[in-house]
Amino acid sequence: MGTGDVSSAASLFSPVGVGPLRVASRPWMAPLTRGRASMPGHVPNALNALSYAQRGHPARGAGLIIAQAACVSEEGRGYDATAGIHTPEQVRGWKQLTDAVHAQGGRIACQLWHVGRVSHTSPQPGGGQPVGPTSVPSRSRTYVDASMERVPTSVPRALGADEIPAIVEQFAHPARCAKEAGFDAVALGRAFISNPDLAHRFRHGLPLSPWDSATFSGGGAAGYTSYPSLAGGR
């Protein structure tokens, strides 16, 4: 190993600041959704806490763990046995996980998740249609019970513009729950695709732009750099 390699290794395992958060090392664990929450209720449990604790020591595992996707609401759920982050029972369950990771000296972030149209009528409130930016089916598959058998997703209904504020609150409430559960940070994914200024919109209670899933991969500027910013700038 050359001098450069030693320097790189030292940098990889050295602390780093992420905003106000101090992380002890730079290998981070990406979300790994494993479908092992306790049912009914989609509640994180002791087995989940053990799994995260095993990986939470920054010298041996991850300096920062971005936890498995946590559903922001019943409407936002698409899979069986995936943990939620919107009820008191779920908050208590997640507290086991954050405590376990912090006991190892690690840090953990909560990934907020609304599956949109990639769902089925089975987990939806009242057996209703999943909601999405379009009524076009996702043509994918999901699992909705303990058999883990994959079934085609259901035909969604297009979300109305007047429903956007409720979706915003479906993210805001779980973000508050994540803080109560002891998470060090909150991670957001797909919402950033169509809202380049997402933090600004949350801060000022502004509406969110829906994404066009047909432009997720490939192509040019449409659906990639064409979404507007309400905060100004580029």
* Percent of the residues in the chain that have a pLDDT greater than 70, as a whole number: 93
124-154 pLDDT, tens digit each: 999 999 998 889 998 899 999 999 899 999 9
For residue 100, the model assigns a pLDDT of 97
- Max distance between CA atoms of the chain, in angstroms, equals 63
Confidence category of residue 106, pLDDT binned at 50, 70, 90 = very high
Residues 6+ apart with CB under 8 A from 2: none
Between residues 224 and 101, which one has the greater pLDDT? Answer: 101
Q: Which phi and psi angles does 233 have, rounded to 5°?
A: 80, -170
Q: Tell the CATH topology of 20-189.
A: TIM Barrel (3.20.20)
* Phi, psi (degrees; rounded to nearest 5) at 16: -150, 145
Q: Where are the domains of the chain?
A: 20-189
For residue 27 the two structure tokens come to 């290998």
Distance from C-alpha of 159 to C-alpha of 163, rounded to nearest angstrom: 7
How far, rounded to the nearest angstrom, does the alpha carbon of residue 91 sit from its chain's CA centroid?
15
How does pLDDT run across 46-104, given as a tens digit for each residue? 999 999 999 999 988 999 999 998 999 999 999 999 999 999 999 999 999 999 999 99
**Are residues 181 and 193 in contact, defined by beta-carbon separation less than 8 angstroms?**
no
Residue 5 confidence (pLDDT) above 60: no
Which tokens in the block code for residue 100? 């376990």
In this predicted structure, what is the pLDDT of residue 1?
A: 40
Report the predicted TM-score, pTM, of the whole model to 2 decimal places: 0.82
pLDDT given for residue 173 in this prediction: 96
What pLDDT shows up at residue 217?
66
Could you please report the per-residue DSSP string of 38-101? Answer: BTTTTB--HHHHHHHHHH--TTTS-SEEEEEEEESSSTT--STT--BSSSHHHHHHHHHHHHHH
Contact by Cβ (8 Å): 102, 182: yes
Report the distance separating Cα 6 and Cα 158, nearest Å: 54
Cα 20 from Cα 147, distance rounded (Å): 43
* 130 within 8 A of 121, measured Cβ to Cβ: yes
Beta-sheet pairing, 21-23 with 16-18: antiparallel
What gap in Å lies between CA 76 and CA 66, rounded to an integer? 19
Calculate the alpha carbon distances from 148 to 153, 163, 169 in Å.
Answer: 14, 31, 30
